[in-house]
Every structure is written in structure tokens, then in C-alpha cells.
Copies of this chain bind each other. A is one copy, B any other.
């Protein structure tokens, strides 16, 4: 206590999970608060040995902690590497320089590469409060970043992550911009490409605003929380993997930005491009195919928008040394039948197993993407790529490769249905003319997907299908009554989910 700015406090574990934010709980009438003049919503530095974090102060007026004690949120304890009873030091927070850059961006200024490096470094270090991340995310929202900013942000995100190294010269990868429920081609594509003898160490993300991410879907069939060492072991042995990117910290900045984006339900084109490509670079990818589905209710709504996004992806990927090909695909309706991790996994398996009732649309999309990757690799005679991809799938080679990958990742498991099912029947006869994929996705989300991996919906009313009154349009699956009720309540409030006439 010789230094008037440092106050020593003993940690009490309050077990409070404030998600990603560092929160410190200090007694209102403690000497720290009184002598330093800390008030609620103040930001402070918390020290323990050589570690330090920045935390938001919550003032406590009850006896859940005493003077001389401090509570830390779960995340803060993890970041500071402390346990109950440890002593910490608390001090004033010096202004965080990079927040000045965030403010400049909020005010509409273009930021340079150094600024993005500073911001992302501080975000990853946990120096930002969630409202500060929210300001950054909002400032970058929509189409509000320049090409140079996207390149800078991509480089900044690459700089704070782990970089995977491979013996091979060519590392393939694919990415789908998403927004299309059930579009789960990745496990199939990886099966085909690895079966072709090429290398595709695929790291995928969990859902941001959708009912399932590829990592969520894959997790219902095999473990995806793999370490870098494990990924390398799997890929060296099998030529491919489907792992959760977040587990290997390929782009640690990304997870923190996405947590806030998800909560705000805000997208940023520039951040999306940077997020995707920084993870590709971190995974060591050299050749990447980008799939952009276009449809009135998909993430990308017009062909013009898709071309612009394709241009961003192409330009930024070249700037960081990755060869890429952009494919614009049909996004007018859900792909396959399942929407939700487990239900989508069932579609994937049906295609890989060449089942007669396997969704044909999912199969054809997977072949198209696999063919594009084979073409980008330059390893096959031009024009034969589609045939090669189809043969690998239909011969069962891709399936066997996929099962080998599952085994290598920790063992295959069969995806299952959630406890509760509710069938939605058609109230009239006619032809399916239009489908609102966003609202379908929302129903699946309200039913619990992706938090509940087996929740979601099985969709049975694709565009052009003739429907009779009383026919099954879709089934909703949920693990709790509460979630099922909530999904149904939302459903009842809708008029235009599936247009039949």
C-alpha cells in the first residue's frame, strides 16, 4: 500500500458468469472505493503477479463480499489466472489509446492498418468493455468499411491468432457466407476432397445468428473442440478434418466481436470478410472457394450484392496471399430438410451414404463446391472435376473418408432428435410459391437451435412442391416445453412463412 494507486484485495469466487466481460465486484464502502473515488461503471486495472486485466467495476452494497475482498466474474478469474483466496491489486485505468481510434471510426473516419492492429490487440487482451466492442461493431456495421480497412482488419486478426503450419504446399479450404438454413455442404465437401488425396483442414464456426453453424452440426457427429496438435494429427492421417475454429484460437478476436454482434444481431460485411479470411490464413490455407448463396431471404439478397461481396473476398484474399474462387449459388430456399445442428447432420449422412431419400439439392451443391476446389487445385484435367467429385461421393469413398475423419477426431456418434415434436400441417392446397428462410430460421432458433443441438425443424415443403390441405409442411423439434411454446407462439404470429397458392 506504499503506492497510493494500488489496493490489495482478496479474491472471493462469486461464480458469476457475465459472459465475456471482465467484471470486478467491490464493496461500496471499502477503502478502495473511498480513497480512489471509484464508482459504478468505472473501469479499473486488476493485477496478479505479472498478469493484468481491465475490468468494469460493479459496486456491491450487501454482505456477499466484505471490505478487503473483491469478486471477479468467471471470465475475469480465468483471464487473470486466480482462484478464491488469491490476493490481487486494483488500480486506476489509464486511458486506452486504441479507444480513440474506435471513436474516430464511430465518427466516420477511415482507420489505418496500425489502428486496426491496436484495436484488435486490446480487444483480445480483454481491455474493452462490451459497450466499447458494441461501439466498434456498430461503426463497422453493414458496408461501412473500405477495402483497405478490410485488409487491415484481416491482417490485425491474423496477427493475434495462432498460425497453423503444414508440410504440404497446397492447403484447400471452403467457406459459405451462410444465411441459408440447412446449407451444410462442408462435411460432404471435406469427405470428397480428402478422398481425392488433397489436404483440407477445415475449421468452422458456430452459429452467429443462424440456427446452426457447421461446427454445431459436426459436433452432433464427432467432437470438434480439437487442439491444434489434434487437428494436425487428424489431417496428416486423413487429409482433412472439420473442427471448431474457436477452440484453437485461430482468430481469438473474432469470438469476442461475434459475441457482441450476435447479441446485437448486427452484421458487418468488412468484419465478416476479415473474420473468414483471417481464419483461412491462420489455418494455413492457400486455395479457398467462397460460396455465396443469393436469395430474397438469404443473407445476401441480390446478385449485385453477391458480386460486391465476391469482389471484397477476392481482393482481400489476394492481398494476404490466398488464391480464391467465388461461387454464387441459389439461395431461394433452405437446403436439405433439416434446420438445426442434429437435423442437418442427418441430411449430411444421408447424402454421404447415398440414401435414396437423401436431399438432392444438398448433394448437388456439395459436388459443385468440391469440383470448384478440385479446379482451383489444378491437379485434375480441366472439365473433369465435376465427374471426379461425383464419383468420389457416389462410390462411397467420400463417406468412408468422412467416417475415418470422425474416428480420428474422437469417434463418430449418431445425431438424434429432440424430445418434443410438433407437426405443422398445411391449411390449404396448392403449390409452394415462396419461402421465407429468415422466418424459418427464426422458428428453429426459438425452438432451441443451436443451443439445443437436437432442436430445430425438418422442412418438407420445398419450392414448386404440390401440397394438399393437411399435408405436413414441417416438424418442429424442441428439448423443452418452454421453447416449443415460444416457437409456436411466434409461428402463430406469422402470415407469410410459406406461400402456397
| Chain A residues close to B by CB (< 8 Å) | 4-5, 13-20, 25, 28, 34-37, 39-41, 58-64, 73-74, 92, 99, 103, 106-108, 129-135, 137-139, 141-144, 259-260, 263-266, 448, 451-452, 479-483, 485-486
Contact = CB atoms under 8 A, between A and B. Distances in A.
Contacts of A5: 482, 485-486
20 contacts: A5-B482, A5-B486, A15-B61, A15-B63, A16-B25, A16-B60, A17-B60, A19-B58, A35-B482, A37-B479, A106-B138, A106-B264, A108-B143, A108-B144, A129-B263, A130-B134, A131-B134, A131-B260, A131-B263, A132-B264
Contact of A107 (B4, B20, B142): B142
A480 B264 contact: no
A107 to B, nearest CB: 4
A103 B266 contact: yes
B58 A18 contact: yes
Nearest to A93: B486
Nearest to A141: B106
Contacts of A144: 108
Nearest to A36: B482
A341 to B, nearest CB: 14
Given A18-B40, A41-B259, A107-B141, 7 more contacts: A5-B482, A17-B58, A17-B61, A106-B141, A106-B264, A130-B130, A138-B138
Nearest to A493: B94
A137 B137 CA distance: 12
Contacts of A260: 131
A14 B60 contact: yes
Contact of A19 (B40, B62, B99, B486): B40
Nearest to A135: B138
A153 to B, nearest CB: 17
Q: Which of A35, A37, A479, A480 has the most CB of B within 10 A?
A: A37
A346 to B, nearest CB: 21
A482 B106 contact: no
Contacts of A19: 40-41, 58
Contacts of A74: 61
A135 B137 CA distance: 8
Contacts of A60: 14-17
A218 B167 CA distance: 72
Given A14-B64, A74-B61, A260-B131, A92 B482 contact: yes
A264 B14 contact: no
Q: Which of A14, A64, A138, A144 has the most CB of B within 10 A?
A: A138
Contacts of A13: 62
4 closest cross-chain pairs (CB), A and B: A15-B62, A15-B61, A134-B134, A138-B138
A239 to B, nearest CB: 36
A4 B137 contact: no
Given A134-B138, A264-B135, A17 B36 contact: no
A184 B19 CA distance: 43
Given A37-B451, A131-B130, A142-B108, A16 B58 contact: yes
A382 B75 CA distance: 67
A469 to B, nearest CB: 30
Contacts of A451: 37, 39
Contacts of A99: 265
Nearest to A27: B15
A430 to B, nearest CB: 30
Contacts of A73: 58
Nearest to A129: B263
Nearest to A99: B265
Contacts of A481: 4, 35
B480 A36 contact: yes
A420 to B, nearest CB: 11
Q: Which of A41, A135, A263, A479 has the most CB of B within 10 A?
A: A135
Nearest to A139: B138
